[in-house]
Structure 1
């Protein structure tokens, strides 16, 4: 059912493109306003500085985008995206050493942010009633009687029956609404001082025989003794399209290398020599890119007594996450799909619609938000409204690491725990739901008892200084179902 003549989307990044797909069935015309000139190919642009770093497309995001744009996944793979099983295709260094390989139900599509957005632009441009207008800087909103009625582009005024704010972390829309008389929303924040730095490489023409893996992950050390700062880094050697990789190092509260020389030196001090050795076999194709804008930020428009009619928020404009947790695109796509579902059953785009959508979106966003808080609240360097009292922060810092390692260890040996842990990682299930599952709890207890007795089904803790083992241990978990 058509709900109006014109809908306007502010921003042509992933959140805005997904929003356009959500709006298209319900309006005669959808206008996407993007400040940048958009490249035809998969290229970086000023408005998406995060594109220079690794991006995971979680399974919940894959499904949401696939529902908005049927065939998206196949088109992404055809464009060069890599369909991999991380438990088999990734060398994973966690705890004291390398984890064992084993098959699982979870697969992921690897690709650069610029490829994901290029394929999304192609999908949107295939919608007959959607127009992407480039080089358009929105300077304000038009409002009347509690409703957003259009947007301003300099001196130009564009009427709209509905507007979606997808302008990202720095969204100016809250200020425009305040100027029009709405109260500013409560803003919840937590910045754990995450900084990460990346460099792009071409893979060698022939991979070494020992590289059974395509993705390399190095988690921060659990060691509390003396060690180099680089042992605290979260490291990725991340495969993307076109025979390329993104080498990335990140940390909570530590200084990160900014130059090519410093990047290479830091790589040689991480917990495994494999990371630097892999970089040495590749050809660098970029400078070093560093990002600090990584704080969690939730603008609580859902708590406004009278939210503006005719306006919705998708992506970082309402809830931005620490990018370490790979939740941004998937959460944005989920919000866009939720918006389409609410539009499909809406009779009118009135105050009731605005409140109902914001409440449903709050429930959706609470899942990734709690996951981000569970980790970031434990860091002493964190600042923001959600920083807990010191006693609680110390408790979280002491408990989160062992709890995470318990779940990861149990998932290695128990396929049911593995399945639910994958659902949590992919935003298909909350951590609370997982931990209330009797079968999961039984699996965790069984693993803890077996670990105390030294009776592991799947070995772990392989020497981080050596090559990660290639053996497939899938059969060892078959008896746990």
Structure 2
């Protein structure tokens, strides 16, 4: 069964993914976007977070590839870079630089604005999709609000030419964190959806840079991506040692330099930004930033709390309406889950429509149940870290004993996983699957083989029998030696290792 008209509210990543799926099932898919969309990869008012780094996780890449076949190839052709982080990124962990070696995870690096541009091009190529720009959605048209037969039947909007309305068999809310759909439903008679929230007071600040010409870059720049994790030192140190810092490569020989923290005030002007980069605990970060040419002002974001509108808990959620992306569940952006979760929800939307062939109560209930199962995976990951902070606020604040336990165990467990991943392919692969939302934290926690690998590594570490070294001095450049396949049996590091590689932090 095909529907007649679906209306998608918002033309960002979540909305474009939903539109691509619905184009298979509806005669007409109308995307209503408030902004005038740029023809190229440019920032726009409705997506202020586009000025910060964005990761498209493997599960999100696969989901978008199913919705828009050829998306990844088009993104790379437009300048995106297909890289292996364990080989192409330098990670400064608790005890210093991690060793470089091949892993199971790859990533496509690009800016958010390039991802959206490629998605818009793919969406506009679909005959059923009509993207209308400069349209502000002002309300919903509903019948039977709050009853078992309640339904959303269309939307009201405003353009430069005046007000209008559009009837729809299905409305998809992709308006993001600031969506007013719950308020409009309340005005029509529905109860407000319960909300689960947790705000760990994350603030992050970014600035865009041009890289030096390839021939002018230091010989030590084997890496394309620099990551410096927060210090675990409880002694006296600069605040910048608490930052999670990224030197994030994007298309066009550019990088987004980003620093963020839980509960700290972040720099807001150029001078303070560069001074803070100089004080990040891995000195290569500040040197790399100073070697580049800034091309933007400093961008700061504070709207980073986790928020889940639980429409699935309503006794009678409205028929004819679903929510995707940040409008249903917004995450702490540090965890890079938003775009991938939105794409996964879009796939669920198509699968549910195929199973039910309509947009009535049974369709909506089935979609909400399946979406809830999908969202549980990233939500649990976000809670695992953000619940450790005493200053966090919201409905999901953990009891004091759990906060103390999380604060005490989260970093040691993370360190043990990272270290064991160097020598145990199963541990490395499983953790990569969790990071990419292919395996849940609950599944990982119940996997005996995973924990056996970590225990075995810790025993070898205690006995001095580990093979791949780590903890290279964070005051030096990250070592470029490839430890892939290194067994240590020859009694010497791999070919090409310099003396600096052997200095432990």
2:401 to 391, 394, 406: 391
The equivalent of 2:436 in structure 1 is 426
Residue 288 (structure 1) aligned with residue 308 (structure 2): no
Tell me the alpha carbon deviations over residues 133-171 of structure 1, each in whole angstroms, 9 at most, x when there is no partner: 000000000011301000001431100000000000011
Aligned mates of 2:487, 2:295 — CA distance in 1: 42
The equivalent of 1:104 in structure 2 is 103
The equivalent of 2:23 in structure 1 is 24
1:435 CA drift (Å): 2.4
Aligned mates of 1:279, 1:396 — CA distance in 2: 33
1:348 CA drift (Å): 2.5
Q: How many residues align?
A: 478
Q: Structure 2 vs 1, CA of residues 208 and 321 (structure 1 numbering), >3 Å: closer, same or farther? A: same
1:153 to 116, 134, 157: 157
Equivalent pair of 2:195/2:307 in contact (CA under 8 Å)? yes
1:349 to 343, 359, 369: 359
1:194 to 189, 198, 202: 202
- Where does structure 1 differ by over 2 angstroms across 4 or more consecutive aligned residues? 476-479
Range with greater deviation from structure 2 (268-277 or 30-39): 268-277
Aligned mates of 1:233, 1:88 — CA distance in 2: 23
* Aligned positions of 1:55-454 closer than 5 A: 55-145=54-144, 146-154=150-158, 155-206=163-214, 207-454=217-464
* Structure 2, unpaired ranges of 5+: 145-149, 490-505
Aligned mates of 1:209, 1:126 — CA distance in 2: 44
Aligned mates of 1:403, 1:8 — CA distance in 2: 45
Equivalent pair of 1:186/1:303 in contact (CA under 8 Å)? yes
What TM-score do you get using the length of structure 1 for normalisation? 0.98
1:478 CA drift (Å): 11
Aligned mates of 2:45, 2:284 — CA distance in 1: 33
Equivalent pair of 1:415/1:477 in contact (CA under 8 Å)? no
Tell me the alpha carbon deviations over residues 345-365 of structure 1, each in whole angstroms, 9 at most, x when there is no partner: 223221111111101000000
Cα RMSD between the aligned structures? Answer: 1.1
1:477 CA drift (Å): 6.8
Tell me the alpha carbon deviations over residues 197-235 of structure 1, each in whole angstroms, 9 at most, x when there is no partner: 000000001222110000000000111111111000000
Equivalent pair of 1:413/1:476 in contact (CA under 8 Å)? no
What TM-score do you get using the length of structure 2 for normalisation? 0.93
Aligned mates of 2:213, 2:357 — CA distance in 1: 58
Aligned mates of 1:454, 1:251 — CA distance in 2: 35
Aligned-partner SS, 2:300: strand
Tell me the alpha carbon deviations over residues 376-403 of structure 1, each in whole angstroms, 9 at most, x when there is no partner: 0001221111011112111111111111
Aligned mates of 2:402, 2:129 — CA distance in 1: 49
Aligned mates of 1:477, 1:308 — CA distance in 2: 60
